[in-house]
Chains A and B, each alone.
Chain A
Amino acid sequence: MPLGISPMTIWYPRRPAAQSCIVGCSTMVPMPFTLAEPAAFPLVERILFAALAIASGSLFWRRFGPIFHRILQSKKDADFRLAPVGRRVWDFVSEVLFQSKVIRQRPLPGIAHAFVFWGFCAFALVTLNHCAVGLGIGFLSPEGFFGRFYFCFAAVFALTCAIGILGLFIRRFLVRPRWLGAKLSWESGFIAFLIFFLMATYLAAFFVPAGSTAITVLWWLHTLTLLVFLPIIPHTKHLHLVLSPATVFLSRGSFSRIPPLAGDEDFGLVAGTDLTRLVSLQAYSCVECGRCTEHCPAANTGKTLNPKEIILGLRSYLNEFGPASSEPLLGKHNPPVAPFQCTTCGSCEFQCPVGIEHLPILVGLRRGAVNTGAWDDDHGAKLFLSLERGSNTLGMQAGERDKFIQKQQFPIFDGTQEYCLWLGCMGGYDPKGREIVADFARVMRYLGTTFGVLRKEKCTGDPVRRLGNDLLFQQLAEANLEALAQNKVKKIVTICPHCVRTIQEDWKEYGTPPEVEHHSEFMARHLSRLPRPSQQDSIVYHDPCYLGRYRNVYAEPRTVVSHSGQLLEAERHAERSFCCGAGGGLAFLGEETGERVSHVRAKELVATGAKTIGTACPFCNSMFRDALASSTDTAPQLLDIAQLTARALPQQDTSSAS
């Protein structure tokens, strides 16, 4: 039997023996039904059963074996560590056994799925016994206490499982949510039918008289269903039954983890030979649920990119070319434009119930195209060239930043101040970004917190990191790390969640970055010492992807917003927040195809009726600024949380840092 890697491998239902009472002994209350089990099978039937079981098992392996091999033949993940095992076990228990993610993100179908899954788990023992009975070596007796108990226990699960699968069937074939795709999958229907039939045949055995022909017929129906089900698994999305527990257990472990390139010949995901075991395992684990697509800003605004198709594209690639092929990954099965339409918002990876990590894959495909020079894009090349030659993504002279620092009288960081205030490209060069930094500096000054800015700062490399330009990213990260070390910076605070993420996580590949926090975290900590504005407007808060999903910071900016007004939530918020469209370097790649992501999101924020839109990222702010400017109706005010907070400060700051 294909025990595979999963604990829930052999499941299915049924079957007990004749007795009119269960639970406890015969002196107990008789049950209103029987628990029928066929008597010993004649030898022919036993042989027939054994032959069929072997046939089913080998057919399963004939189909599953090649997949298993393709995964194992893939390149090893150079950075893979099993430790910390505790976290892995915890994820496994929570996401697999308790189905937490499945349920939390889609409650109704999630619970239906959980019922089916738990049903399968409960059936593992029953099924084993069921097969054993066929060979005359059944070990669970309905007469024994445990046997009786277990058969009834499993019956409860069989019932909920049958209801669950019915619910899922109705959803897929009658309700038909858009993200499941327009095409109806006959195999899904057939499998649902098989599962339902397994449960039905198990439960029916409770209602037929012991020793009747009916019980033998039921046994055989149940068994045959089982033996048909098994070989179907590998070639359908039900492969996730076998693989996904492993996928969840073996995941990279942190959100959007971009693995370091291994060796001189690794340029990212270029061809089959670059697919690692984790990537291949994930490609085969996809259950085609479409949660990734449902939440993807690109897929929802008419772009070519569809994260589910990216994963399935890799699977088709592996099926056709295999992991030893030098055929480009971007080509036949995945359109080359698709990865470059990704905002790296992370919704797909966050949502995926089987632990597929889309971002390392999407960024990996970009790396493959950019590191080898295959990606040819005017805007992209312009961005890269301006960072090869200059210091910032906006292509401005560094002197412009100096002027801004002088005008604001920001002290230069000299090691005596508590914080290094990191301006970032937006804070140093963009007019609105500068307003935000200036207001945040007012807040720090009001609180008496000492800070200084670096004399020279380069882009953290966030856009080039996400676009897959490893050469440029390394240069930027190293130059910045060196400047920070020279200046003995211990703590950084910044208004840009992209800077926070890149400094804290991505720079680690090239050194030890200082501690870094986002201004929302800083302000939330000091709120009690900050004045509240007299008039309390309604403010809708937009979660930046890089603060929310990437950093798990949802509460802090909300407390800051609540301090300045009445907090409203957009329909999609917190971990389900919808991207502003700027991430992943897209802010620099020019006009989008289809609808603009920023317009969709801005509309959603405006629809809350809030007087003000509160942002916590200068990129979101800039995207919404443009989106609101092009809408005709009277747009709400657009302010960063630093500006919301600074509004309430006395006009003339009484205290001043350094």
Chain B
Amino acid sequence: MKIVVAIKQVPERDAPVRIDAAGRWIEEADLQWALNESDAYALEEALQLKELHGGEVVVLSAGPERVGSTIREALAKGADRAIHIDCEDLGQRDALGVARLLATAIQPEDPDLVLTGLQSDDLGYGQTGVILAELLNLPHASLILHVEKSDTGITVKRELEEGWFQNIDLPLPAALTIQSGGAKLRYATLMGIKRAKTKEVRRIAAAELSAPPEAAVVLDRIALPQKQKITQVLSGSAQEAAAALVEKLKFEVHAL
């Protein structure tokens, strides 16, 4: 099976994010970068499929020079080769624009399966993967936790609300957006990094793929979320209050 995984480099989880002077994007200068979380799960899913059924895993990422480090990390974890779309203005492209870039790069690869993360940790549109599937004219499913190969194609486990899941059969080729938490991520190893050095990274300039289109969605202003403190008094007997508290911790704050 040939699998293309589209991944994105986003600011590290702990990065102190600051809004830039124009108020339209964040200051990138001092940031540390990491692989987008759900993309890490998409990559893991691809690697596990390859381990079971053989084939090839190709990672694809768009962004400036710095994206190279994330690509190397993916190669170190076991991807076979990579395509780096050189693109300085990723932040200015909307989901459709980015999906066009990715789709053009994927087409000649003619993969059996295209995986992306469910959404990016920075913009959080949750659209790029789905639009990409449409552009490639592939059947697709979103919020996927697990993929299994079947005789006719694949069976995927899809997350619904409140602990409900759905199993769907899809033919191949197909495109899926992967939800975080479905698999155990592997850690990067020294051996992986050393081996990655010899793996192919093909760089394509964004301009070769498509002219920057007129964006349909424009970022007008971004802001840090307001911090808020809310105090709630839970009424009722101790038991009822405790039950209500557990409920809130579980479903409102997601602390349990």
| Chain A residues within CB distance 8 Å of chain B | 261, 264-265, 267, 370-373, 378, 380-381, 384-385, 388-391, 397-399, 469-472
Contact = CB atoms under 8 A, between A and B. Distances in A.
Contact of B14 (A264, A370, A390, A469): A390
A389 B12 contact: yes
B190 A389 contact: no
A265 B14 CA distance: 33
Contacts of B189: 370-373, 469, 471
A397 B13 contact: yes
11 contacts: A267-B190, A371-B190, A373-B186, A373-B192, A378-B184, A381-B184, A381-B187, A389-B13, A398-B16, A469-B189, A471-B193
Contact of A372 (B14, B34, B184, B191): B191
From A264, A373, A397, A470, residue with most partner B Cβ within 10 Å? A373
A399 to B, nearest CB: 7
B185 interface: yes
B191 A371 contact: yes
A388 B12 CA distance: 10
A527 B12 CA distance: 43
B194 interface: yes
Given A397-B13, A398-B16, A399-B14, A388 B188 contact: yes
A384 B187 CA distance: 6
Contacts of A388: 34, 187-188
Interface residues of B, number: 16
Interface string B27-67: 00000001000000000000000000000000000000000
A472 to B, nearest CB: 8
Contact of B191 (A373, A380, A389, A399): A373
A261 B190 CA distance: 11
A398 B185 contact: no
A381 B190 contact: no
Contacts of B193: 471
Contacts of B13: 389-390, 397
B191 A469 contact: no
A471 B12 contact: no
Contacts of A381: 184-187
A385 B12 CA distance: 12
Given A390-B14, A391-B14, A397-B14, A469 B187 contact: yes
From B12, B34, B190, B193, residue with most partner A Cβ within 10 Å? B190
A364 to B, nearest CB: 13
Contacts of A471: 188-190, 192-193
Contacts of A385: 185, 187
From A380, A384, A397, A399, residue with most partner B Cβ within 10 Å? A384
A389 B189 CA distance: 14
Interface of B: 12-14, 16, 34, 184-194
From B14, B187, B188, B192, residue with most partner A Cβ within 10 Å? B187
A166 B187 CA distance: 56
Contact of B34 (A261, A371, A389, A472): A389
B187 A264 contact: no
Contacts of A384: 187-188
Given A265-B194, A371-B191, 12 more contacts: A267-B190, A267-B191, A373-B191, A380-B187, A381-B185, A381-B187, A388-B187, A397-B14, A398-B16, A469-B190, A470-B190, A471-B192
Contacts of B194: 264-265
Contacts of B187: 373, 380-381, 384-385, 388, 469, 472
From B184, B188, B191, B194, residue with most partner A Cβ within 10 Å? B191
What 10 A-B pairs come out closest when comparing CB atoms? A384-B187, A398-B14, A371-B190, A471-B190, A373-B189, A372-B191, A470-B190, A390-B14, A381-B187, A389-B34
A470 B187 CA distance: 12
Contacts of A373: 186-187, 189, 191-192
Nearest to B193: A471
Contacts of A378: 184
A269 to B, nearest CB: 13
Nearest to B14: A398
Nearest to B15: A398
Nearest to A384: B187
A438 B97 CA distance: 51
A143 to B, nearest CB: 70
Contacts of A371: 189-191
Contacts of A265: 194
A264 B193 CA distance: 10
B192 to A, nearest CB: 7
B43 to A, nearest CB: 13
A549 B124 CA distance: 51
A371 B76 CA distance: 11
Nearest to B30: A456
A549 to B, nearest CB: 28
Contacts of B191: 267, 371-373
Nearest to A378: B184
A373 B12 CA distance: 24
A520 to B, nearest CB: 31
Contacts of B185: 381, 385
Contacts of B12: 389-390
B201 to A, nearest CB: 19
A455 to B, nearest CB: 9
A470 B12 CA distance: 21
Nearest to B191: A372
Nearest to B37: A389
A261 B194 CA distance: 13
A268 B106 CA distance: 39
B190 to A, nearest CB: 4
Contacts of A391: 14
A41 to B, nearest CB: 65
B202 to A, nearest CB: 24
A609 B12 CA distance: 49
B41 to A, nearest CB: 12
Contacts of A469: 187, 189-190
Contacts of A399: 14, 16
A391 B14 CA distance: 7
Nearest to A479: B32
B52 to A, nearest CB: 16
A534 to B, nearest CB: 41
A489 B91 CA distance: 37
A655 B7 CA distance: 54
A51 to B, nearest CB: 56
A453 to B, nearest CB: 16
A472 B192 CA distance: 12
Contacts of B192: 373, 471
Nearest to B185: A385
B72 to A, nearest CB: 11
Contacts of A380: 187
Contacts of A398: 14, 16
A399 B225 CA distance: 15
A537 B188 CA distance: 50
B45 to A, nearest CB: 16
Contacts of A264: 194
A48 to B, nearest CB: 61
Nearest to A455: B16
Contacts of B186: 373, 381
Nearest to A474: B190
Nearest to B192: A373
B123 to A, nearest CB: 18
A370 B191 CA distance: 9
A72 B109 CA distance: 52
